Amino acid sequence: MKKLLFITVVFYATFPSFSQKDSELFRINDAPIMVSEFKQMYEKNLTIAEDTEAKNIDSYLELFINYKLKVKEAYNLQLDTVKSYQRELESYKKELLAPYLYDEETLKALVKEAYNRTKNEVKASHILVRFPSEGLAVDTLFLRSKIVAYKNRILQGEDFAKVAKEVSEDPSAKRNGGNLGYFKVFQMVYPFETAVYKTRVGEISEPFKTKFGWHIVKTTDIRPSKGEFETAHILVRNSPKSEAKIYSLYKLLESRKPFEEVAKEHSEDTNTAKIGGKLPRFGTGKMVDEFENHVRNLKEPGNYSKPFKTAYGWHIVKLIKNYPVPSFSEIKNELLRKIKESKRIKISDRALLKKLMDKYQVKEYPEALIVFKETKKEALNADDLNAIVLSVNKKKFTQKDFLEFIKLKNKAVTENFKDFKKEVLLSCFKEDLFYTNLDYRNTLLEYKEGLLLFDLMQKKIWNKASKDTLGLKSFYIANKVKYGKELDDIRGQVISDYQDELEKKWIKELRKNNMVRVRKGALRKLKNTYNQ
C-alpha cells in the first residue's frame, strides 16, 4: 500500500518534449530539463494544491529540482537494473498497453451493435453441414455446395423443418426441425448471431461459416426484449396425479394463501421450495420456452400464471420483478467486457493490424519461406538461416527470427507467417507508442520513476530511519524539549521527523555534488505565463 501511495503522489516523471519549440528551463550537469516538462507537472499540481506556496513557481521549481536530483541518483545507483523492479515495471507496462491494442473505432461500433441487439430477441431455425473432426482434411467448397443444395430445396417449396430433420448435422434437428427458439446477443457465436439478426423474418440467409461448419438460417420471429425476470415457481413433477395436484395448489393461491407458503409446503423443486420457490434472475434463452413464455405474459409484479406443463412437470410461476433492458450508459462497460472476452474482439484485432499495415512500410520475402515448406523445422540449422523474411520500416527480420517464433507451433507455414507478421507489427506499434502517444508515455514514466524513487527512498531514508537506533535516539535527545514525552510513547512521530531530517541532509548533499543551472530568461517567461 505504501508503494502505491508513493507512486500516486510522486512527481510526474521526465520525458523528452514533443514540441520543436520547447526550451530548456534548467540543467543538471549536462542533462537539460525542458519547460514543457515542468509545466506538465506544475499544472497537474495546481489542481490539487491547497496552500499558496505550492502554487508559487519559485517554490515548486525547488521541489522539482530536488525530484530530478533523486531520479538521477536512482539511475546512478542502477536501481533500474534490479530484477524485481524490472519484473514489476514489465507487468505494469503490459497492463497499461492493453487498452491501446484495440482499434477504438471498431470497438465502439461493436459495443453499439451489441446494445442495439440487446433491444430485441430473435427466433431462428438452422441447418448445419458440420466440418470433419480436427486433423482431417476439409473440402470446404464441397461442404458449401451441400448447404447451397439444401437451401435450393427449401426455395423450391420444401418445408424448412422437414429438410432440417432429413439432412442437418445438428443432432437436435431430428427432434426440433432445426428450431433454436428465442435467443439474444452473446448467446450464439458471433457469425451465427449476425446472420440471424441481419436476415429478415421469414427469409433464409446466404450460406455462412462458423467454427462448427456451414449453415443456413431462417429467422422466424423478432420481438422486443423484456430484459430479465425475477420469479418464483411451484413445481409438481410428472406423475399420474400431478395435474390434479397442481390445480389443487392453484386453488389455494386463488383463495389468497401466500405464494411463498404454498411453495415451501408443496413445491417439489427441492432447491427452491425452502426459499418460497425463488429462482435465480434470468433472461431469454436461460429457461425452456414454455416457462419463459408464461413469464413474459405476466403483466405486473405479484401476478402468477395458471398451471402449465414443461418437460420437468407442472408449474405455476409468479413474477417478482421485471428488469428492463438498461440504458446504453448503464450497460456500456458490461458490453465492452463481454466483447473483449468473446471471439468478436478479433474484428478489432484485424482492424488494428490493417491500420498498422497501412502505417508502416511492410515488405515480405516469400522466397525466404520456401525452406520452411520443404524442410522440417527440426532439421534446419539456425546458423544458415540469415535471409530476410520480413521488414517493417527498414527493420529486418530473418529466417532465424521466424524459426525461433515457430519452434513450438504446429500450424502450416503460411498461417505461422501471418502470426509472426502480426506479432512483429504489434511489437513495433508498442515501441512507437512511447514516442507518439503523450498520455501513454507520461503514465508509463510516472509509474516507472515513481517505482524507482520508492526503492530509492526506502534504501536511503525509510529503512535507515527505522534501523538506525543510535541515530534515532540522538535525534530524539536533541529535540526532547519539542516532544515532551518519552521516545517509546511517540516513536512513530519521531521516526517520521527523523526521516524528514535525513532527507533534508541528503538533498543538501545531492545539491552539493551536482551542478544545477537555471535559465533565468526561461524562468521569467514561465512566471509571466502564470502571472507571477
Tens of pLDDT, residues 452-476: 989 898 888 888 777 778 888 888 8
Task: Output the pLDDT for position 137.
Answer: 57
Asked if the model's pLDDT at residue 14 lies above 90, the reply is no
- Report the pLDDT averaged over residues 103-117: 97
Instruction: Compute the distance between CA of residue 254 and CA of residue 498 in angstroms, rounded to an integer.
Output: 79
pTM recorded for the entire structure: 0.74
- CATH code linked to domain 2-76+439-529: 1.10.4030
Bridge partners, 224 (sequence order) = 120
For 421, half-sphere exposure in the C-beta direction (CA atoms, 13 angstrom radius) is: 23
Residue for grid cell 425476470: 229
**How is domain 228-323 classified at the architecture level of CATH?**
Roll (3.10)
**Among 409, 435, 437, residue whose Cα is nearest residue 423:** 409
Is the CB of residue 99 less than 8 Å from the CB of residue 187?
no
Instruction: Tell me how many degrees the CA angle 299-305-308 measures, rounded to the nearest 5.
Output: 140
**How is domain 120-224 classified at the architecture level of CATH?**
Roll (3.10)
Is the CB of residue 388 less than 8 Å from the CB of residue 396?
yes
Task: Output the pLDDT for position 134.
Answer: 61
- Label residue 2 by pLDDT band (50, 70, 90): very low
What lies within 8 Å, CB to CB, of 526 at 6+ separation is 25, 35, 38, 39, 57
Domain 2-76+439-529 matches domain 228-323 at the CATH topology level: no
Instruction: Compute the distance between CA of residue 501 and CA of residue 509 in angstroms, rounded to an integer.
Output: 13
For the chain, what is the mean pLDDT? 91
Task: Output the pLDDT for position 467.
Answer: 79
Over residues 226-275, the pLDDT tens digits come to 999 999 999 999 999 999 999 999 999 999 999 999 999 999 999 999 99
Where do the structural domains in the chain lie, given as residue ranges?
A: 2-76+439-529, 120-224, 228-323, 360-435
Residue for grid cell 413433477: 237
